[in-house]
Amino acid sequence: MATQQTRSLARFMMAPSVVLLLVWMVVPLALTLWFSFQQYNPLNPIRDGFVGFSNYALFYSNPAFLQSILNTLTLVVSVLLITVIGGILLALLIDQPMWGQGIVRILVISPFFVMPPVAALVWKNMIMHPQYGVFADIARFFGAQPIDWFGQHPMMAIIIIVAWQWLPFATLILLTALQSLDGEQKEAAEMDGAGFVSRFIYLTLPHMSRAITVVILIQTIFLLSVYAEILVTTNGGPGYASTNLPFLVYQKALLEFKIGQASAGGIIAVILANIVAFFAMRAVGKNLDK
């Protein structure tokens, strides 16, 4: 039981780090907010100055904007679906006693250790490339026309790459949850005559629900900011077909040097991320209270 003094002392000692964290977050956010109301293009410094909300209006009226929101959400939802469902299946599979289990587990988890730009390069040049890729070789072997992944189905290609990278994370978290399930419960259910499917639905899945929540929340945060995979493979194209919000902000800031519009985009992205996080917390976060 902490006394009044120890609590005050704790507050006093924690204060520097709290202040530091606050400054760490508040300064960049404040600067972004400030720049979002300025006409600031370092390449054309004559026209600087306060412009009100026009950066927001310009960012919003950009034909790529709505497409980028749609792409951001498509990416998050698709990758979550693939990784959660795939993660549950993989976790169930590698939880089974089998020969070489250790090696199989390491192989399943290994994509997580590959850096995103490297993974994207490998997928682009060695797997999905319409001339030299493994997929093209397979298609040609069966006499089919190779698929031009990044030209024809850019979003799908990026979803596959990102899902491949996040599947191990989901699998790992879900596997630990699965292993914490009491063996006696399973046996009891089995003795009561429950089949594999009912055991899964009524026992395993509810047991895993907290882990699933963790996976969804953590992945949502990271998937909202996917950037390297897009830069390396499609550069947001063709057209705006694979431009997401972070990529659009990058494009405005470092390709067009429209710092004002990029800052406005950054603020919009922060607001949207908070909305998504709010709904995600409400929808699945209540699992965490149990």
**Taking CB under 8 A as the rule, does residue 4 contact another protein?**
no
Distances (CA, A) of 261 to 44, 49, 67, 232, 253: 14, 13, 17, 24, 8
Candidates 146, 199, 225, 273: give the one binding another protein (CB under 8 A): 146
- Minimum gap (Å) between residue 271 Cβ and another protein: 24
- Whole-angstrom distance between the N-terminal and C-terminal Cα of the chain? 25
Backbone angles phi, psi at 67, to 5 degrees: -60, -40
Q: Which residue's CB is nearer to another protein, number 57 or number 288?
A: 57
Restricting to residues 228-287, which ones interact with another protein according to CB under 8 A? 233-241, 251-252, 254-258
Restricting to residues 57-116, which ones interact with another protein according to CB under 8 A? 58, 63
Candidates 17, 44, 110, 180: give the one binding another protein (CB under 8 A): 44
Token output for 30: 């404040």
Q: Which residue's CB is nearer to another protein, number 126 or number 255?
A: 255
User: How big is the site for another protein, counted in residues (CB under 8 A)?
Assistant: 35
Backbone angles phi, psi at 49, to 5 degrees: 140, 170
Q: How far apart are CA 168 and CA 170, in angstroms?
A: 5
Token output for 268: 């919009």
Restricting to residues 157-216, which ones interact with another protein according to CB under 8 A? none
Backbone angles phi, psi at 108, to 5 degrees: -65, -35
A 10 A CB-CB count for 136 gives 20
Q: Which residues bind another protein (CB under 8 A)?
A: 41-45, 47, 58, 63, 124, 129-131, 136, 146, 148-152, 233-241, 251-252, 254-258
